[in-house]
Amino acid sequence: MSAIKFKIEKRLKGKLGRAGVLETPNGSIQTPAFVVVGTKATVKALTPEQVKDLGTQVVLANTYHLYLQPGDEIVAEAGGLRKFMNWQGPTMTDSGGFQVFSLGAAYGKEISKVVKITDPSLMIPERFDDSDAPCLAKIGQDGVSFKSHLDGSVHYITPEKSIQIQHNLGADMIFAFDECTSPAEDIRYQTEALDRTHRWAKRSLEEHIRLNKENKIALFGIVQGGREEDLRKKSAKSLSEMEVNGEGFDGFGIGGSFAKEDMSTAVKWVNEILPEEKPRHLLGIGEPEDLFMGIENGVDLFDCVAPTRIARNGSLYTGIGNINILNSKFISDFSKIDEDCHCYTCQNYTRAYLAHLFRGKEILANTLASIHNLYFIVSLVKKIRQSILDDNFADFKTDFLMRYK
Helix, strand and coil in the chain, % to nearest 5:
40, 20, 40
Q: Is 258 exposed, middle or buried (0-12, 13-18, 19+ CB in 10 A)?
A: buried
Burial-class residue 339 by CB neighbours within 10 Å (0-12, 13-18, 19+): exposed
Closest by CA to 94, choosing from 225, 281, 333, is 281
Q: Which helix (H) or strand (E) holds 209?
A: helix 187-211
Question: Phi then psi for 349, rounded to 5 degrees?
Answer: -135, 160
Q: In what order do the strands lie in the sheet with 154-157?
A: 137-139, 144-147, 154-157
Q: ω into residue 288 within 30 of 0, thus cis?
A: no
Collapsing DSSP to helix, strand or coil, 225 comes out as: coil
Residues shown for the chain? 405
Q: Are 302 and 323 in contact (CB under 8 A)?
A: no
In the set 72, 94, 250, 262, the catalytic residue is 94
> Is 94 noted as a catalytic residue in this protein?
yes
- Torsional sign, CA 355, 359, 364, 368: positive
C-alpha dihedral, 295 to 299 to 300 to 303, nearest 10°: -100
CB 26 within 8 A of CB 89: yes
Beta-strand pair 144-147/154-157: antiparallel
Sequence-ordered list of residues with C-beta below 8 angstroms from that of 10, at least 6 positions apart, any chain: 18, 19, 388, 389
Where is 324: in which H helix or E strand? strand 323-324
* 182 and 256 Cβ atoms separated by less than 8 Å: no
In DSSP notation, 350-365 reads -HHHHHHHHHTT-HHH
Q: Is 399 a catalytic residue?
A: no
- Cβ-based neighbours of 91, under 8 Å, separated by 6 or more: 26, 58, 59, 60, 61, 81, 82, 170, 171, 172, 173
Catalytic residue among 72, 172, 290, 303, which?
303
| Residues labelled as active-site residues | 94, 303
